[in-house]
Amino acid sequence: MLAAGTAVAVSIVLHALLIGWFPPLRLGDPALHPAADRTRSIRMQAVDQAIPEDLERYDDILSREFALVDTESDLAVFPATVNENVLDEPVISQVDPLGTEAVIADPQLPPVADEAYIPRREIIELQDTLFEQEMATIPRQYIPDLDRQFEAADIVMPVQLDADISGRYSLPATMIEAPVASLLPGGRSAAAETLLEEAMTRQDPRFDPYEPRIEASQLVAETIEEVTEIEAVEELLTLRVAVARPADDPYAYFKIAIERAGADVLPVLPRDVLLIQDCSESMTQGKLNQCKVGLQRWIDHLAVGDRLNVIGFREAPYRCFEDWTSLQAASRARARWFIEDMRSMGRTDVFASLKEILETPSDPERPVIAVMVSDGRPTTGLVDSSDIIEQFTRRNDGRFSVFSVGGGKKVNRFLLDLISFRNRGDSLVVEKNADIPDAIEKWAVELSRPVLSDLKYHFSGVDRQDIYPRSLTHLYLDRPLVIYGRCPRLMPQTAFQIIGRSGGKMHDMVFALDWVNARQADETLAVEWAWRRIYNLIGEHIKTRDPAILEDIYATADQYGLKVPYGDRLYLR
């Protein structure tokens, strides 16, 4: 209590002293106290500026000295000094600058023509009509309906010409003699004979009586080389055809395996092989070591005449050779050392390595095989798998055949499968790292002996939308080329054409496919066809992102009892 009383007393004394020492400090509502006057730092005083009496205003000078002269009254007030200094006639020296007197003639007007003035005419004027009346008098000529003659020219001359027309128009003998004899039954017609005689007797500058006659066979004589560079050689290939007709299905499904007819029919083509190895950190050094074993085995399968290059890639690709290198002892040794020196590090730019393929030169007479060994997991650059597949496929345009190999449980199968399926290749993915060398060697063996490149095919009576794959790989001696398709169930047969290049020659092969007598397969063939259709639709969906294609994918999978692959990448319903 004593302490509290002491504190209160001290507080009262201090407040009293503060109020006494600081009287301006007012307490309470500020509005109750009068506002104090503020002292201004700068105060404007009166301005006193004297103007000299002899100084004229600037605007008075302008109004007097530089006023516009519009009337005679204005001239009366215009200062005389201006007239004296500005309007005086200039003094021109009479001295000849050349030192001699020169006579300068006065300019004269041009002589006036005697004829009357004629205004300028139009630049373009229609003068005469040259062809309208002439062409109107020529009647339309009709060719009689004649049976087509085998190996005859597709040229027919007009017949039954009007006498007046034949008198004014003559034809050279080579235009009449050659085609008529072979097209009209029984030789030339009477009208043709008449025209021929008139043309031979009339002085036509286009007709030479000593010109040798051109027979019809000579007019249309053509060699196969002049018509097409494709050589028809059906005996080069053999086909193995299987057909399945599931119950209650309006379609029949077929599978065609294309193989070379014999060991000596088509020569093995020299090839260009591009090995592309992912050396990024995601591969791990242990997995990369397994890949290196497989790449070393591939070099063992290279044949004389092949050319090679090796590319490693991380954030950026790097090459073993600047260009394609023929297989010599030194080049093989350098390639083996390049592969052995690969180390797992850095990030993965898959698209950069694929663009490196496109910058590689190619020879149309040598099939190019690109093999990419990777986990397909990009971590830098373009990382969206769909964008990588679409951009590379569009730029490649079927020029390079791309095969891929992947191993392990963390492989991006979507990227590896589709980048190969859409670029004339195939993919092979194994679950264990230890199986990677065998997978690489499998491609090395099957792709070692190409015999036909740049293959294209056509079917008669079969919808091309139902044939897969759309773009074919090269034909290899040790790897049959398989085509899947479907056709109407009751179609008895069709024609199949395949065109390919062997070296510098194009080969054309046409086969008659008899569905009735073909080997009958079970209903699993329809499922194999459905898988190819789904893969193709996925590729189209990557290209267009059309929701209707996505619905078609799921409808096909439901119809054939399949599970759509890469569901998480296709935006599952």
Other beta carbons less than 10 A from residue 37's beta carbon:
6
Instruction: Tell me the β-bridge partners of 251.
Output: 488
Same domain, residue pair 246 and 278: no
Is residue 375 within 8 A of residue 283, CB to CB? The reply is yes
**For the chain, how many structural domains are there in total?**
3
- How far is Cα 469 from Cα 459, in angstroms, rounded to an integer? 13
Same domain, residue pair 434 and 467: no
Task: State the DSSP string of 261-299.
Answer: S-TTTSPPPP-EEEEEEE-SGGG-HHHHHHHHHHHHHHH
Same domain, residue pair 339 and 465: no
Sign for the CA dihedral angle at 369, 371, 372, 375 comes to positive
User: Over the range 311-331, which residues count as b (16 or more CB within 10 Å of their CB) and which as e?
Assistant: bbbbeebeebeeebbebeeeb
CATH code of 529's domain: 2.60.40
Beta carbons within 8 Å of 44's beta carbon, 6+ residues apart: none
Same domain, residue pair 513 and 462: yes
Answer whether residue 334 is part of any domain. Answer: yes
Min mean pLDDT across 116-125, 168-177, 340-349, 496-505 is at 168-177
- Position 327 scores a pLDDT of 87
Can you tell me the mean pLDDT for 387-413?
Answer: 91
Same domain, residue pair 430 and 463: no
Helix residue ranges per DSSP H, 401-523: 413-421, 436-446
Band (pLDDT 50/70/90 cuts) for residue 126 is very low
User: Over the range 459-468, which residues count as b (16 or more CB within 10 Å of their CB) and which as e?
Assistant: beebeeebbb
Of residues 301 and 567, more confidently modeled: 301
Of residues 263 and 469, more confidently modeled: 469
Check whether 36 has a pLDDT greater than 60: no
Q: Which residue has the tokens 């590379």?
A: 392
Answer whether residue 113 is part of any domain. Answer: no
- How far is Cα 314 from Cα 484, in angstroms, rounded to an integer? 38
Can you tell me the mean pLDDT for 503-508?
Answer: 80
Same domain, residue pair 188 and 308: no
Band (pLDDT 50/70/90 cuts) for residue 332 is very high
141 phi and psi, to 5 degrees?
Answer: -100, 140
Can you tell me the mean pLDDT for 331-348?
Answer: 94
- Position 155 scores a pLDDT of 54
- Position 441 scores a pLDDT of 95
- Position 510 scores a pLDDT of 87
pTM over 0.85: no
Question: Position 567: which residue type?
Answer: G
Answer whether residue 200 is part of any domain. Answer: yes
Q: Rounded to the nearest 10 degrees, what angle do helices 173-183 and 190-201 cross at?
A: 160
Query: What is the percentage of the chain residues whose pLDDT exceeds 90?
Result: 37
- How far is Cα 398 from Cα 425, in angstroms, rounded to an integer? 10
Same domain, residue pair 329 and 469: no
Task: Show the tokens assigned to 26.
Answer: 């007012």
Domain boundary among 400, 433, 448: 448
Q: What 3-state DSSP class applies to 333?
A: helix
- Position 508 scores a pLDDT of 83
Ramachandran region, residue 334 (left: φ > 0; alpha: ψ -120 to 50; beta: rest): alpha
Q: How many CA atoms lie within 13 A of 79 on its CB side?
A: 11
Ramachandran region, residue 143 (left: φ > 0; alpha: ψ -120 to 50; beta: rest): beta
- For the chain, the average pLDDT equals 75
Of residues 449 and 233, more confidently modeled: 449
Domain boundary among 414, 432, 448: 448
Answer whether residue 21 is part of any domain. Answer: no
Band (pLDDT 50/70/90 cuts) for residue 17 is confident
CATH code of 347's domain: 3.40.50.410
Answer whether residue 199 is part of any domain. Answer: yes
- The residue among 162, 249, 251, 176 whose CA lies nearest residue 207 is 176
- Tell me which residue range forms the domain holding 190: 154-221
Q: Which residue has the tokens 């397909």?
A: 376
Eight-class DSSP state of 236: G
Task: Show the tokens assigned to 52.
Answer: 């000299």
Domain boundary among 395, 429, 448: 448
Min mean pLDDT across 82-86, 245-249, 295-299, 458-462 is at 82-86
Same domain, residue pair 348 and 432: yes
Task: Show the tokens assigned to 274.
Answer: 């591009």
Answer whether residue 414 is part of any domain. Answer: yes
Please return the burial class of 69, using the count of CB atoms within 10 Å of its CB with bins 0-12, 13-18 and 19+: exposed
Other beta carbons less than 10 A from residue 547's beta carbon:
10
Same domain, residue pair 457 and 382: no
Answer whether residue 46 is part of any domain. Answer: no
Same domain, residue pair 408 and 519: no
Is residue 348 within 8 A of residue 377, CB to CB? The reply is yes
- Position 276 scores a pLDDT of 96
- Position 365 scores a pLDDT of 84
Same domain, residue pair 457 and 523: yes
Answer whether residue 147 is part of any domain. Answer: no
- How far is Cα 463 from Cα 475, in angstroms, rounded to an integer? 23
- Position 507 scores a pLDDT of 82
Is residue 249 within 8 A of residue 486, CB to CB? The reply is no
- How far is Cα 471 from Cα 352, in angstroms, rounded to an integer? 24
Same domain, residue pair 444 and 465: no
